[in-house]
Amino acid sequence: MRLFLKDLCLFKTQSERACRHDRLHHLTRVALPGTLSWKVLEPCLGRVSGREWRPGARPPVSPPRGTCASVLARSLAAPGCMAHMFVYGTLKTGQPNHWVLLESAHGRAAFRGWGRTVEPYPLVIAGQCNIPRLLNLPGQGRRVAGEVYAVDEQMLRFLDEFEGCPDMYQRTRVTVAVEGEGGTLQCFVYSTATYPPEWVHLPYHDDYDSQGEHGLRYSPRESR
């Protein structure tokens, strides 16, 4: 009887390991190292595999070839898998669209701190609706202040749609110096890569406020 129970426990342990390995194999086959999808997935691999593993190190298994962003979105159901998002405009605390980060129906968003971009960028207020735009011109403009949030895949998908990505904004990467921590984070940010040439000559801002001294009041979506 003891021998039977020992064999049963061994079988259970081996089965659990196999399930974890199959789950990891499914996750890694949808993204290649160095791609945007892989950077979102990378921090989750240690938890899924059950091994001690640091982001940036060699993955626990070798990822097979091929990518698929749609499968990746479904696969990121692994508990605790979050991405950092840097917000600099109307999504900030006290600004007109901050409420979307507080709505649980949109997904999860947890405040991680205040910060500034390591590189300067042109932050302008443009268009008939006076919308803040971070022009994708690193090295030009000012170091932009904002807030860092950890968001789950559901919130990320919602924000993509809310921000009109990839048509109105493009979700890119930016390095943010986090206040009080003395370190930096790689964050997603909604920036603008295509714009009228005259936007480059608009006044640059470093800390957006819809009620600021610039006098350019943001036009809410419901009033457009």
| Mean pLDDT across 71-99 | 78
Question: What local confidence, expressed as pLDDT, does residue 80 receive?
Answer: 61
| Mean pLDDT across 71-95 | 75
Catalytic status, residue 161? no
| Mean pLDDT across 128-132 | 96
pLDDT at residue 17 is higher than 50: no
Question: What local confidence, expressed as pLDDT, does residue 127 receive?
Answer: 95
Active-site residue (options: 42, 147, 163, 179): 163
Position 58, amino acid:
R
Question: What local confidence, expressed as pLDDT, does residue 224 receive?
Answer: 77
The pLDDT-based confidence of 11 (bands split at 50, 70, 90) is very low
Q: What's the mean pLDDT when you consider all of the chain?
A: 76
Q: What is the DSSP string of 45-106?
A: HHHHHTS---TTSPPSSPPPS---HHHHHHHTTSTT--EEEEE-STTSTTSTTTHHHH-GGG
Dihedral Cα 206, 191, 37, 174, nearest 10 deg: -30
**Which helix (H) or strand (E) is 131 found in, with range?**
strand 131-134
φ/ψ (deg, to 5) at 113: 145, 175
CA dist 12 and 74 (Å) reads 27
Question: What local confidence, expressed as pLDDT, does residue 117 receive?
Answer: 98
pLDDT at residue 32 is higher than 70: no
| Mean pLDDT across 79-86 | 84
Position 16, amino acid:
E
The DSSP call for residue 121 is: B
Who contacts 204 (Cβ-Cβ below 8 Å, separation ≥6)?
122, 123, 124, 141, 142
The number of CA neighbours under 13 Å toward the Cβ of 184 is: 10
Question: What local confidence, expressed as pLDDT, does residue 121 receive?
Answer: 98
CA dist 37 and 45 (Å) reads 13
CA dist 38 and 30 (Å) reads 8
pLDDT at residue 10 is higher than 80: no
> Could you give the 3-state DSSP secondary structure of residue 9?
helix
pLDDT at residue 51 is higher than 50: no
What percent of the chain is predicted at pLDDT more than 70?
64
Position 198, amino acid:
E
